[in-house]
Chains A and B, each alone.
Chain A
């Protein structure tokens, strides 16, 4: 790919990729590094994407996986569970819509459940959209979200954050 094309793609989609990394990592310096890593990985797909929606789908898929792995490697799971929202709410979705709480729960979940959970609970994507972004069937997403919800309820129940 020539430099002009690269610069054009980076100018168009870089802001979305950066914002997504910043949102997940909550750190501007980390996001600045992450956006380059994500872009290197996503570049070929962006160049062939038929439109913005497809391009954003790739950005979401790759940045979500990259940032979650980064957070995992930075030992986010070591954060204390007693900082999770207290049991004032019994609504799993309300608890998980808080990005920090969701990430702490995610640290205790199997890898394959993490990306669908973030896309659905944190980003608010409907199951069909999650399936499109991750390139899996809607049925797979439904199953993974159900699995995630069951495990999260069990985990949060144990930590006293959810009835």
Chain B
């Protein structure tokens, strides 16, 4: 390799950080105009950095905060010493504080509102009739349900259910591996869900958060314990009964 002929990795990083002098940056950009190899290296670097910003940063910051705080270090020490009981609650607290996540408790009201928090409403359609699903509502296989949310500020949402057989389904977002962004104010989530004939009550859980949650992590947590807190976020919950087919 003729090192001086190309922009080194450090120069590409400095270019993306906008920390070059005017002259350095001009020379670098002139080089990039005719050097395909350096353009490719820059694009690869840019793509990696973008992935970090969009996907990795939010997920790893709370872990980093827990590890670098005094409390987090004590927590790790406790774990190493085998005091595992300490780890989960303290860890959850640290994560919750770090992310400033929306922590919502289940509420008995049909619209699942808590003071200052987001709301979730569920509507069902049966043979052309639409009605709101309440905790005492009985639904049946074939009914279609839709969700209406009203967060007070933009954030991320994941809606999942645990049916009577213990099967976890992620309803929203319909595709993708993590919570989807939602805006502030009332909105109806796209699409509807047709209930299957799984017996027993079904429990819906809506995770509102300020950072996306991995769907797989939520599904694992719900399978282990319906209503589980994930990364410090407690879900809103709505249970409804299902009539036997």
Residues in A lying within 8 Å of B, measured CB to CB: 1, 3, 6-7, 10-12, 14-16, 18-20, 22-23, 28, 32, 35-36, 39-40, 43, 51-53, 56-57, 60, 93-94, 96-97, 120-126, 129, 133
Contacts and interface: CB of A to CB of B under 8 A. Distances in A.
Contacts of B52: 14-15, 18-19, 35
25 contacts: A1-B68, A12-B17, A14-B60, A15-B16, A15-B50, A15-B52, A16-B49, A18-B48, A18-B49, A19-B52, A20-B13, A23-B45, A32-B56, A36-B63, A40-B67, A52-B14, A56-B17, A60-B10, A96-B1, A123-B10, A124-B7, A125-B3, A125-B10, A126-B8, A129-B10
B22 interface: no
Given A15-B52, A32-B56, A93-B1, A40 B64 contact: yes
Interface of B: 1-4, 6-10, 13-14, 16-17, 19, 44-45, 48-53, 56-57, 59-61, 63-65, 67-69, 98
Contacts of B1: 93-94, 96-97, 121, 124
A14 B45 CA distance: 13
B45 A125 contact: no
Contact of B64 (A10, A53, A96, A126): A10
Contact of A28 (B10, B51, B64, B67): B51
Contacts of B9: 20, 23, 60, 122-125
A15 B49 contact: yes
A132 to B, nearest CB: 9
A117 to B, nearest CB: 12
A23 B3 contact: no
B17 A40 contact: no
B106 to A, nearest CB: 29
Contacts of A56: 10, 13-14, 17
